Amino acid sequence: MTRAARRHWLLKTEPGEFSIDDLERDGRTLWTGIRNYRARNILRDEVKAGDLVLIHHSSAARVGAAGVGRVAGAPRPDPTAGDPASPYHDPRPSPAGPRWWAVEVEFLEKFPEVVTLGRMRAEPSLAGLPVLARGNRLSVQPVDEEHFRRILRLGRSSVAGAAAPR
């Protein structure tokens, strides 16, 4: 383990817009449309190529971690910000350089079942995970490596999981 250890993140998406299935189908995608400064700062300044990300479905029937991806390149200016045809178009001038940033994400795996927020909350070892905090709206969030591993384990074992509600 080096000091420059790979970091782990959670990326929110509304599956009605873009889901883990879409990412699996496409193989990779440019993760655009982040329009919050705190999320932007994390994306632009901290996310590195090779970092692993949980793909998190929000505003969905099953809210939670749906799979895993990997950051496939350095963050770059979000092209949708300058595209009048995009719902994420931001017409404001940005004289000091790009305001919004995006990053390429490649598909790694889809969990057999979404690891729901309820499932995560039932897991004492996931205490402190930012996405579980009340009122947390950040669309790019850090995830501890240990938390990441535990969610991965939950996701991979969810079919065989004993406590899956029907």
Q: Please work out, in degrees rounded to the nearest 5, the angle formed at the alpha carbon of residue 57 by the alpha carbons of 52 and 58.
A: 130
17-40 burial string, b = 16+ CB within 10 Å, else e? Answer: ebbbeebbeeeebbbbbbeeeebb
Residue 108 lies near DNA (rule: CB under 7 A): no
Stretch that binds DNA, among 17-25, 41-49, 57-65, 146-154 (CB under 7 A): 57-65
Residue 76 lies near DNA (rule: CB under 7 A): no
Residue 52 lies near DNA (rule: CB under 7 A): no
Residue 12 lies near DNA (rule: CB under 7 A): yes
CB of residue 83 to DNA, shortest distance in Å? 17
Q: How far is it, in rounded angstroms, from Cα 145 to Cα 143?
A: 6
Whose Cβ is closer to DNA: residue 33's or residue 79's? 33
List 6, 36, 108, 123, residue binding DNA (CB under 7 A): 36
What separation, in Å, do the N-terminal and C-terminal C-alpha atoms of the chain show? Answer: 41
Question: Are the CB atoms for 38 and 81 separated by under 8 Å?
Answer: no
Residue 89 lies near DNA (rule: CB under 7 A): no
Question: Are the CB atoms for 52 and 8 separated by under 8 Å?
Answer: yes
Residue 134 lies near DNA (rule: CB under 7 A): yes
Residue 118 lies near DNA (rule: CB under 7 A): yes
Residue 136 lies near DNA (rule: CB under 7 A): yes
Q: Please work out, in degrees rounded to the nearest 5, the angle formed at the alpha carbon of residue 82 by the alpha carbons of 13 and 52.
A: 35
The residues of the shown chain that bind DNA, judged by CB under 7 A, are: 12, 14, 35-38, 58-60, 63, 117-118, 134-139
